């Protein structure tokens, strides 16, 4: 029987079956061309790091997605197109991290563990003083010892003007 010879209800049933099959295959095909990147963020000691901004960049198309690691240091990028990605992680107090060459294949979930290094701490000390740092008027050490013990840097007994007991013996 030809399609034109069918009654209206039979034609509409066939038409909806064909549309249904096309939609089913289209959804299956679309579902298979995406993948997921998941992972966690830790420091060099293995502790979870929360609040890390993680960016996934598709190297072929330039598509960029950004998320933040949750309470357990976990992050997820669902529904990413297949291809080669580069992950970047940034957090306060840590050095920026780049994790290259994360390859996603069809309907794949790739797990990545990002280990962040603590950034170097820098400190500066400024001393403003009008006092002489070296006593050039005499060979006496009591000036230095008194100044250091005033700040709590030396707790010792002075046995003579030429000997200090600190676990080592200093003589002049």
Q: Does the structure show a pLDDT above 90 at 49?
A: yes
Q: Which long-range contacts (CB under 8 A, 24 or more apart) does 155-164 make?
A: none
d(CA 172, CA 170): 7
pLDDT the model gives residue 18 = 74
Instruction: Please give the angle made by the CA atoms of 69, 74 and 80, to the nearest 5 degrees.
Output: 85
pLDDT tier, 165 (very low <50, low <70, confident <90, very high otherwise): very low
Which tens digit of pLDDT belongs to each residue from 60-119? 999 999 999 998 999 999 999 999 999 999 999 999 999 999 999 999 899 999 999 998
Q: Which long-range contacts (CB under 8 A, 24 or more apart) does 93-101 make?
A: 93/118, 93/119, 94/43, 94/49, 94/52, 94/118, 94/119, 95/119
pLDDT the model gives residue 168 = 44
Can you read off the two tokens belonging to residue 152? 């709590």
pLDDT the model gives residue 65 = 96
Give domain limits for the chain.
1-32, 34-116, 142-171
pLDDT the model gives residue 75 = 96
Q: Does the structure show a pLDDT above 60 at 157?
A: no
Stretch 28-34: mean pLDDT: 62
45-75 as b/e: b if 16+ CB within 10 A: eeeebeebbbbbbbeeeeeeeebebeeebeb
pLDDT the model gives residue 60 = 94
Q: What CATH superfamily classification does 34-116 receive? A: Carboxypeptidase-like, regulatory domain (2.60.40.1120)
A 10 A CB-CB count for 89 gives 23
pLDDT the model gives residue 100 = 92
pLDDT the model gives residue 120 = 77
Instruction: Please give the angle made by the CA atoms of 39, 31 and 110, to the nearest 5 degrees.
Output: 20
pTM above 0.85, yes or no: no
């Amino acid at each position: 029987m030809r399609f034109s010879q069918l009654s209206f209800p039979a034609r509409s049933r066939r038409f909806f079956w064909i549309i249904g099959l096309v939609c089913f295959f289209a959804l299956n095909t679309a579902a298979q061309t995406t993948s997921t990147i998941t992972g966690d963020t830790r420091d060099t000691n293995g502790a979870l790091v929360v609040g890390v901004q993680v960016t996934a960049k598709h190297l072929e198309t330039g598509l960029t997605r950004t998320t933040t690691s949750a309470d357990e240091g976990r992050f997820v990028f669902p529904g990413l197109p297949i291809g080669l990605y580069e992950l970047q992680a940034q957090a306060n107090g840590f050095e920026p991290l780049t994790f290259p060459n994360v390859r996603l294949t069809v309907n794949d979930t790739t797990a990545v563990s990002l280990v962040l290094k603590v950034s170097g701490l820098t400190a500066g000390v400024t001393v403003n003083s009008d006092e002489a740092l070296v006593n050039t008027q005499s060979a006496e050490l009591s000036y230095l010892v008194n100044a250091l013990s005033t700040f709590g840097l030396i707790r010792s007994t002075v046995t003579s003007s030429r000997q200090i007991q600190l676990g080592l013996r200093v003589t002049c």
